Structure 1
C-alpha cells in the first residue's frame, strides 16, 4: 500500500542557481546533495528538515527537457505549499524577489496566491481556513 509521496522532481536550468533560490528566497533546506560523478548531482530540498516530501531539483540534460522547464504542467501549479501565515510569507517571499501572480486572496477552504520559481515553474501558496469552535 502506498502511504505518502516522498519526492517530486522539478526541472531546472542550473542546480546551484536553483539551490540558492529555493533556500534563500523560499527558505527551504537542503536535504541531500550528492555528486555521483562530474556533471551528475542529486539534490533535494524541502521546507523543513522533517518534511515528508522533498523536491528533487533536476538539471535538464536534453533539449526536450530544457523546453519543459517552467512548463512541466503547461501553466498549472505543480505543487501547493501550505503556509501558517500566508500574508507574512507572501510579504517575505516577495521582498526576496519571488514573483507572485496575485496577492493572497480567498479561495475554497482558505487563502491562496500563485507564484513561480526563477525558471517559471508555477506553485501555489495556501493557508487553510481555521475554524473556531
Structure 2
C-alpha cells in the first residue's frame, strides 16, 4: 500500500489575501485557483517550491463557527512545519518580507528552528534538519 497526505486544509478569512501572503511573502507556488459555482467557493491550492507531495488547501470560512478557528487551528501550538534546505537564506527572505517571528532561530539537537506566524496568527516552524531527521 502507498499513501500520502495530499492537502492540509487551512481555514482563511479571504482567498485573495491568503494567496497574497503565501505566494508573495512565503514564496509558495499557486497550484490551482478554480471557482466552484455549485458551492460558491474556490478550490485554492498552494505549496512550497520544490515540494510536490503536500500542499495547503486554502479554505475560506463559510460560517461563524469556522471563522472562530481562523488563526487558531492548533489551539495555539505550532501547526505546520516548513522544512528548508537553507535556513539562513529563507529566514532572511522571510524577515525581509515582513514575516513575524515569535521565536528567534536556535540550534536544537535535530537542526535549526524558528517559529513564525502566518497572516492569521497560526504558528509555523521553519526548520532545517540535520543528522538524517525528517
Q: Provide the TM-score with structure 1 as the length reference.
A: 0.91
Contact 1:11 1:68 in 2 (8 A): yes
Q: Tell me, in whole angstroms, the C-alpha distance in 2 between the residues paired with 1:30 and 1:97.
A: 20
Shift of 1:50: 4.9
Q: How does 1:19-34 map to 2 (within 5 A)?
A: 19-34=19-34
Q: Unaligned regions of 5+ residues in structure 2, if any?
A: none
Give yes or no for contact 2:35–2:42 (8 Å, CA) kept in 1: yes
Q: CA RMSD in A?
A: 1.6
| Structure 1 unaligned residues grouped into runs of 5+ | none
Residue in 2 aligned with 1:114? 115
Q: Secondary structure at the match of 2:73?
A: coil
Q: What TM-score comes out, normalization by structure 2 length?
A: 0.90
Divergent runs of 4+, >3 A: none
Q: 1:105 to 1:49 in 2, by over 3 A?
A: closer
Q: Give the C-alpha shift of residue 88 in structure 1.
A: 1.6
Which piece of structure 1 moves more, 12-21 or 40-49? Answer: 40-49
